Structure formats: structure tokens, C-alpha cells
Amino acid sequence: MSTFHTADPGFDWRAGELRWPVTSDVRPGLSGVVASGTRVSWLDPGSGTLAYRGHPVQLLAEAHPFEEVAYLLVSGELARDGAPAFGRFRADLRGSAVLPDAVLALLREQDPTTHPTRLLRAGISAVGCHEEGSGEELSGERHWRELRILGQVAALVAHIARIRRGGPELRPVAGASLAELVLAGLLAGAPRPEQVELLDLLWVLYADHGMDAPTFTSMIVASCRADPYYNVVAGLSALRGERQGGATERVLELLLSLDDADHARRRVRELLRANERLPGFGHRVYRRPDPRAALLRRRASELCARLGCEPLFEIAHAIEQEAGPPLSRRGVFININFYAAVLFHVLGADGPLIPCLYAVARTAGMVARVREALEHGSRIYRPRSEYAGP
Ligand code: ACO
């Protein structure tokens, strides 16, 4: 951290004065900098608390499907089945999960080996071109209000999953929940209720996580008043990188490359000796176990025992135990992605598809925060750089 003085003075027109010199701290990665106020979620890295609109995320995940939590994030109200406002929201959300034929054709025209996150990025841009009014109404407030884009992202992921697995074209069932829709794309037949419940649980845990890179990126784009399609493409692009949501793909790659728990322990020692980063470990804000990880570990253990995939869980657990002591000394613990990768795999996803599944959930948090910022007339983001040249 260093202090600098800039030759570009801050001008406060309300005070009618130039404030000189402008002084600021430079924090790599904006670490610890508060960039906005919010009522959407509360994240306390010290105690490991994560709550959406005041509700602890673990309780929400066990008791509420994703669509109810999306409603909570956006409206601030806990959804009650049968409440007219929530009923309308859910019907609109599900109704928006339909893609124009031209977008479906665009997805199908691509090489089927294209990375699914690339298809998702192209698909969101293409949907934006088809949205009536998105050309003129740049702030896109109608779209934010209707939350159409969340349904559209889910529909894109469902179709991308089906294209990736091959087989007949996906014919979405009208009125299906977003989790049912995406699982229908992923699986050969209709999803079972416990699969729907598991995807909803994963999505609830992934729905919002403060000002992480994807959400912050989308807030920057929103502060310029670009429409939601530019915004979500930008936010989800940040999610793709291997230090962020892309880590889920690396976790699964690692797990599937190992024969058993002994092999896992040997591989961890090799990776740490080589000073490599283990995917699914470490976090920008937590210096303690990620509060979402314990719940996922328990789910993964139960599910693998029930479905006969214990070896996969044992490999994951051996990695966690072997890496735990050396990494915890540096404040590095497993993050949400570690056991989530196991669970997404159990649901039928291959590694490259997992960031897309994550993307559906995070779109809800991004939409909630952008709406909140637009309602409060957020100022355009504009930090400065510390000049170190000649
Ligand atoms: N494996 C081994 N060592 C690690 C790991 C890891 N996964 N993560 C951090 N470290 C080490 C670093 O090498 C560093 O050691 P050093 O001081 O000797 O150089 C120390 O721990 C501190 O690391 P930072 O770079 O300060 O961690 P930072 O907070 O900047 O990065 C990040 C966080 C990017 C998540 C990092 O931990 C990482 O790359 N993890 C692996 C990828 C991953 O799982 N990302 C998902 C994050 S969660 C999410 O996005 C939902």
C-alpha cells in the first residue's frame, strides 16, 4: 500500500473549490476498499457470515428454492408460496426463459467443442440484439425490472448443456422452474425432485457474494448506463477466469485425474512443492473456511454414499486433508468451488459446463445489485492509477 499525490485535482462543484492535493491509498486489487453501500447481502469475512437481506445463506439454501431467493435478493421480501407478487415474479421469470429461433440457430451453428462459456457469452449478446427496445433504452430499466435476463441466461445454459451432451433438441416444458429447465438440458430424461433440489441449493449458495469480480464488473458497466445485455456479458466474462468461477472446472479436472485417495495425497504434495495453486482453495476475502463449503461437503458426502460414487468424495476429502495444514497457515482454506464441483458433476455436468451453471445463479445477485444501484442513481465508477513512469 502506498500514498500518492496526483496532478489531476479533484473538483467539487458543490463546494466550488479545487481540492488539492488529492490523496489516496493504492491497494492492489482494491483490497478492503468499500465501493458502494447495499442492502442486498452481508458478508463478514471475520465471522464467516453470509446473509442475503438479513437471512443466513445456509438457512435459505436448506429451505428455499432458487427462484424464491432470487425474488428475495431483488425485492427484499421473503417469497411466500401463494403470495400474488411472488407468483407474478415467478411466472414472468419462467415465461422469459424462451429463446428466439435465431439465437438457438446461432448456438447450434458453433463447433460443438466450443467452450460452453464462450457459447454463453455469444448467446447473451445475441439475445440482447433481439430484445425490443434495448437499442434505444440504454439504461434498460424495463429489463432490470422484469428480470427477463435471468430467465434468458437459464434458457441459454439449458440449450448449451443439451448441445454439449448431444441428443434431440431440448423442448422446454412450459412453466418449468429454472432448475428443472437447466436439468432437462443436462440429463437424458426428466429430472428427479432431489436433483432439482440440489441444483436449487447450489444456486442459492452461489447467488450473491458481495462485490466480487463479476458483480463489481457489472456494477461498473451499469454505472455507465449500458443496457443489461452488455452488463451481464461483462460480469459473466469476469466469472469465467480460472481464479474465479473457472476454478470449478480446474477442481473437477484435478479430481478426475486421480486414481484414489493415496494418489490424491501424493499429487497435493507435488503441487505444493512446485508452489502451484490448488483450485478450489483460497479466497480474496475469507482467511478462514468459506461458510458455504461445510454445507456442500456434507451434501457431497451424503450424496456420493447414496449414489455409489464414494471414491470421488474420498479423493476430494483426501485433497482437503492433505492440503489443509500447510495452506491454513497462510490463511488458505477450501472455497465454495471445491465441493460444488463434485456436486455439479454428480448432477451430470462436465467441467467446462460448471461455470455456466454457476453463471445462472450469479446473474440473480448481479441483477439485484445493479437494480439497487440504479435506483439510488449510482455515480460512474472512476478510480485512478498511480503513475510510476518517466
Ligand atoms: N493454493 C496454494 N496456495 C495458495 C492458494 C491456492 N489455491 N491461494 C493462495 N495461495 C497462497 C499464495 O500463493 C500466497 O502465497 P505467498 O504469499 O507465499 O505468495 C498466499 O496464499 C496468499 O495468496 P494471495 O495471492 O494473497 O491470495 P489472493 O487473495 O490474492 O487470491 C485467489 C485469492 C485468487 C482466490 C487464490 O486463492 C487462488 O488463486 N485460488 C485458486 C483458484 C480458486 O479456487 N478460485 C476461486 C475463488 S472463490 C470464488 O471465486 C467463488
Nearest ligand 1 atom, CA 338: 44
**What is residue 5's predicted lDDT score, i.e. its pLDDT?**
39
- Ligand 1 centroid to 195 CA: how many Å? 31
pLDDT tens string 371-387: 899 888 888 998 888 78
In the reported structure, the alpha carbon of residue 281 is separated from the centroid of ligand 1 by a whole-number distance in angstroms of: 7
The per-residue pLDDT for 51 is 97
Q: What are the beta bridge partners of residue 2? A: 26
330 pocket-lining for ligand 1 (C-beta < 6 Å): yes
Section 118-131 average pLDDT = 93
Q: What is the mean pLDDT of the chain?
A: 89
Residue 266 Cα, ligand 1 centroid: separation in angstroms?
21
Note the pLDDT of residue 246: 87
**pLDDT score at 210:** 92
Ligand 1 mean position to 241 CA, how many Å?
Answer: 13
pLDDT score at 4: 37
Task: With a cut of 90, say whether residue 56 has pLDDT above it.
Answer: yes
Q: Give the residue-averaged pLDDT of 226-238.
A: 90
Residue whose CA is at the smallest distance from ligand 1 atom 14: 330
Q: Which atom of ligand 1 is nearest to the CA of 251?
A: 44
Rounded to the nearest whole angstrom, what is the distance from the C-alpha of residue 280 to the centroid of ligand 1? Answer: 9
Pocket test for ligand 1, best of 330, 338, 357, 358 (most atoms within 8 A of CB): 330
Mean pLDDT of the 269-282 span: 97
Q: How confident is the model at residue 3 (pLDDT cuts 50, 70, 90)?
A: very low
- Which tens digit of pLDDT belongs to each residue from 68-117? 999 999 999 998 777 898 999 999 999 999 999 999 999 999 998 899 99
The residue whose C-alpha atom lies closest to atom 39 belonging to ligand 1 is 243
Closest residue CA from atom 36 of ligand 1: 282
Band (pLDDT 50/70/90 cuts) for residue 9 is very low
Closest C-alpha to 281, from 268, 299, 265: 268
CA of 219 to the centre of ligand 1 (A): 24
Nearest residue (by CA) to ligand 1, atom 29, is 284
**Ligand 1 near 282 CB (within 6 A):** yes
pTM value is: 0.92
- Pick from 45-59, 134-148, 369-383: least confident: 134-148
Ligand 1 neighbourhood includes 335 CB (under 6 angstroms)? yes
pLDDT in tens, 332-343: 999 999 999 999
Choice from 236, 283, 290, 337 to test ligand 1 binding pocket (greatest atom count within 8 A of CB): 283
